[in-house]
Structure 1
Amino acid sequence: METKLLIEYFNQLLPLNEEERSIVEKVFKERRIKRRQFILQEGDVCKLNTFVVEGCFKMYMVDANGKEHNLQFAIENWWIGDIGSFHTEQPSKLYIEAIENSIILQIKKEDQLKLFVEYPKFNRIFRVITENALVSTQRRILQNISSTAEERYLDFMQRYPHFFNRISNVQIASYLGVTPEFLSTIRKRLVTS
């Protein structure tokens, strides 16, 4: 089982003892996901919290015109899931799709809640994970309402250089809220300046 990477991840936040490592191996289930396979689709309730061991995912919504809007990408050592659907148990408006063949570890909501009660350290660990996600979301919202498309692109390049060989320009454009053509214009302008 691929829990070693997850245990190392948790240990960076708060070191786990032997019993806590053992419970991680018990409650997280490994899945191998093929490229273009969904782990969540619109209308489904998100019942699993997902840690990416290997591979790359995108989380997106599709608007009334059929246009895809990317909200998040996730690679190794990142979490992905519709937190709203996971916590409220309401149907999701999002899709989570593998961009590459991937290996993930997933935990059911009831198992995660049981972890919090029986092993309080996990309550703190997941709080830190959630707080980090909130900080990232706030940064992205502020950037979207106060920065130009070029500034958003430059920030994306600086913050996530490891994505450029793994996701398409169309997906990057969707994440930045611009058309692929406009992204191409920005890139050309940056090369010539």
Structure 2
Amino acid sequence: MDLLRKSIERVTPLTNEEWKLIVEKSKRIQLKKGEFLQTQHSFVVYECFVLTGSFKTYIMGENGTETVIFFTFGNEWICDLNAFYHKKQASYNIRALEDSELVVVTKPAKDVLFSKIPKLVNFHIHMIEKANIVLQQRVLDLMNKTSKERYVDFIEKNSGRLQKVNNKNLSSYLGISQEFLSKIKREGEVYNEKAR
């Protein structure tokens, strides 16, 4: 839980009493690889902080095709914002890519935390701003960057996490076929060999 406290205190300092209330109103859960945190169209939605492990957030099309929207790793937040804050059906599936541990909070519990620790609203605003920036950048990247540029960006931002994401999920995230992803990887290996 220290990771969670550090994440909050990067924005908003907490007293020990405030931290104790946060711990009381949240819950630690463990998921095995392949288990769902939430499923598309369900009403079971949490705001979550990933302690360990990794997740993919994706939608399942009517034809059975997965489209990966985000990956979330340890020390990061994950939430279906519209479903969580507006009591809507979940827009996404969120599934563990490996055995994972999270801290989750429900909307009623978060409302209590906001009323008893008003300064958490500042942290909330920071989280929403960060989520919007990530989402906007994702849209801009899809519209303006080539597949290869998106792949290079992903590698640069997630160099220590690549082994957690298989080719199927990565190609879906990049919006390309697995064959084209393999080609991009091969070209990168050839380039790296020549650079040595």
The TM-score range, normalised by the shorter chain, is: over 0.9
2:22–2:113 contact (8 Å) kept in structure 1: no
1:7–1:24 contact (8 Å) kept in structure 2: no
Paired letter, 1:27: K
How big is the shift at 1:162? 2.2
How big is the shift at 1:4? 2.0
**1:9-24 maps to which residues of 2 (within 5 A)?**
9-24=7-22
Paired letter, 2:151: Y
Give CA-to-partner distance per residue, 1:42-62, whole Å, 9 cap, x none: 120243111101111111001
Q: In structure 1, what is the equivalent of residue 71 of structure 2?
A: 73
Q: In structure 1, what is the equivalent of residue 83 of structure 2?
A: 85
Give CA-to-partner distance per residue, 1:67-101, whole Å, 9 cap, x none: 11111111111111211111221112311111111
Give CA-to-partner distance per residue, 1:2-38, whole Å, 9 cap, x none: x222112111222111121111111110111111111
Single out whichever of 135-144 and 3-12 deviates more from structure 2: 3-12
Q: In structure 1, what is the equivalent of residue 194 of structure 2?
A: none
Structure-1 separation of matches of 2:104 and 2:91? 20
How big is the shift at 1:117? 2.1
**1:136-175 maps to which residues of 2 (within 5 A)?**
136-175=134-173
Structure-2 separation of matches of 1:160 and 1:150? 15
2:120 paired with 1:95 = no
The SS at the match of 2:59 is: strand
Identity over aligned residues, as a percent? 28
Mark the runs of 5 or more structure 2 residues left unpaired by the alignment: 192-196
Structure-2 separation of matches of 1:167 and 1:186? 16
Structure-1 separation of matches of 2:44 and 2:122? 22
Structure-2 separation of matches of 1:183 and 1:157? 13
Selected match of 1:109 from 104, 107, 117 = 107
Aligned residues: 191
Q: In structure 1, what is the equivalent of residue 31 of structure 2?
A: 33
Paired letter, 1:164: L
How big is the shift at 1:190? 2.1
The SS at the match of 2:155 is: helix
**1:39-50 maps to which residues of 2 (within 5 A)?**
39-50=37-48
The SS at the match of 1:14 is: coil
Mark the runs of 5 or more structure 1 residues left unpaired by the alignment: none
Single out whichever of 4-13 and 134-143 deviates more from structure 2: 4-13
